[in-house]
Structure 1
Amino acid sequence: MKDKLLIIGASGHGKVVADIALKMNKWNAIAFLDDNESLKSSMGLEVLGTSSDVKKYIDQYQIFVGIGNNATRQKIHLMLEGAGASIPSLIHPNSTIGEQVEIGIGTAVMAGAVINCCTKIGKGCIINTGSTIDHDNRIEDFVHISPGAHLAGTVKVGQGAWLGIGSVVSNNVNITANCKIGAAGVVIKDITEPGTYVGGPVRRVRA
């Protein structure tokens, strides 16, 4: 395993990702790439260049995409996979991971998150601070579960969906790909059409 980690993105989400990596105490060196060319350091870690430089570092570093936007994260992650990059998952030591949980590469699990048994988390996901995902969930690739969101048992969340801060999903509910659930949204039945949903229970407000 490579003993150095390079994080693409040195702003808000990237800094939280770096904090997880530091607390994991797994890499001898951690650095950033960021497209703000005037930025030379973040979190006390060096910014080595911009995202366009990433292929120069693939042989030396494991690489992680620290970008909050699902579509942008997906695009860069898939490019890295295609280029043969080594992509870890980052799991905060103060999260709780149950038995028979699978977590895909490029996924970040933040402090205080709980993922219960027999759940599968795809690649490139964000399981944010204090969120809970109960038993037998299926979270597909490039999903963002925001801080304080709570998913009951046997929930499925489709690729690229975003569940806003404090949202709640009842058990046995399926949420289709590329949905956005607003802050504090309450999902009590299947969502089969992509779009933006708000309220309690949620209703679709735009495609």
Structure 2
Amino acid sequence: MSGRSLAILGAGGHARVVADCAEQAGWSGIVFFDGSDLPPPPGPWPLVGTPADLMARLAEFDGVIVGIGDNAERLDRHRRLSEAGARMVGLIHPRASVSPHAEVGEGSVVLAGACVGVGARLGQAVIVNTNATIEHDDDLADGVHVSSGAVLAGGVRVGERGWIGAGAVVRPGVVLGRDVRVGAGAAVVAPVADGLTVVGVPARRLDH
């Protein structure tokens, strides 16, 4: 990837993590586009425009990725950019371990220390955060985020926009529905239906 330019939509904390991963993976000319009123982010990567500016400049970049932590917004932005003809790319940190027999979708990022096992499938705009483990034959739908240190044992399925909190563990073969949220440190031993939040050991539904 040396010498290739990358545009990142977003300029917050996760965007900076994505930029750092991209730089270590050999990308250069890394810039941010963001529409917030916050001051420019610290670090060596400049904020050069708004999301509308990026849409007008897609042809200038060898790759584009969305660096937004919110699952729904990240997936929506990814899809809109893809439909507009952006060259959406995935990123794998050089210190991540990804099986050559795993699939990593466009717009997904696998960060340092993460492990993605044989037969695993990551959809589009997925985040596998630092030191997370995605075991053999796991299936992560579009927009999923597996937080730092979480472990998904073999054969787990996670629906669109699912979020697995830091340090959580999911038992082999468990199915998690769309928009499920798993609290940090939880142990999930049974299926979780769409839209539910579960916490604790063993994980139980959180009633609001």
TM-score interval (norm. to shorter): over 0.9
Tell me: CA distance 1:41–1:98, structure 2 relative to 1, closer, same or farther (3 Å). same
2:57 maps to a residue whose letter is: Y
Write out aligned runs for 1:54-203 (5 A). 54-61=54-61, 62-203=63-204
Q: Percent identity among equivalent residues?
A: 37
User: Structure 2: 5+ residue runs without aligned partners?
Assistant: none
**Could you tell me which amino acid in structure 2 is paired with residue 103 of structure 1?**
V
Seen in structure 2, the aligned counterparts of structure 1 residues 182 and 40 have a Cα distance that, compared at 3 Å, is: closer
How far apart are the structure 2 equivalents of 1:187 and 1:48? 42
TM-score when scaled to structure 1? 0.94
Deviation at 1:195, TM superposition (A): 1.3
What secondary structure sits across from 1:75 in the alignment? helix
What SS is found at the alignment partner of 1:48?
Answer: strand
Q: CA deviation at 1:3?
A: 2.5
Judge conservation of contact 1:187–1:200 (CA < 8 Å) in 2. Answer: yes
Q: Secondary structure at the match of 2:48?
A: coil
Partner of 1:46: 46
Amino acid at match of 2:53: D
Change in 2 beyond 3 A, CA 1:28/1:129: closer
Partner of 2:33 in structure 1?
A: 33
What code does the residue aligned with 2:34 have?
Answer: D
**TM-score, with length taken from structure 2:** 0.94
Counting matched residue pairs gives 206
Counterparts in 2 of 1:135 and 1:47: CA distance versus 1, 3 Å: same
Shift of the 51–155 alpha-carbon distance from structure 1 to 2, 3 Å rule, reads same
- 1: distance between equivalents of 2:127 and 2:51? 20
State the Cα distance separating 1:63 from its structure 2 match.
1.2
1:10–1:42 Cα contact (<8 Å) kept: no
Give the Cα separation in 2 of the matches to 1:138 and 1:41.
Answer: 34
* Residues 48-103 of structure 1: CA deviation (Å, up to 9, x unaligned): 11222111220011211000000110111111011010010011000001131000
Query: Structure 1 segments of 4 or more deviating over 3 A?
Result: 36-42
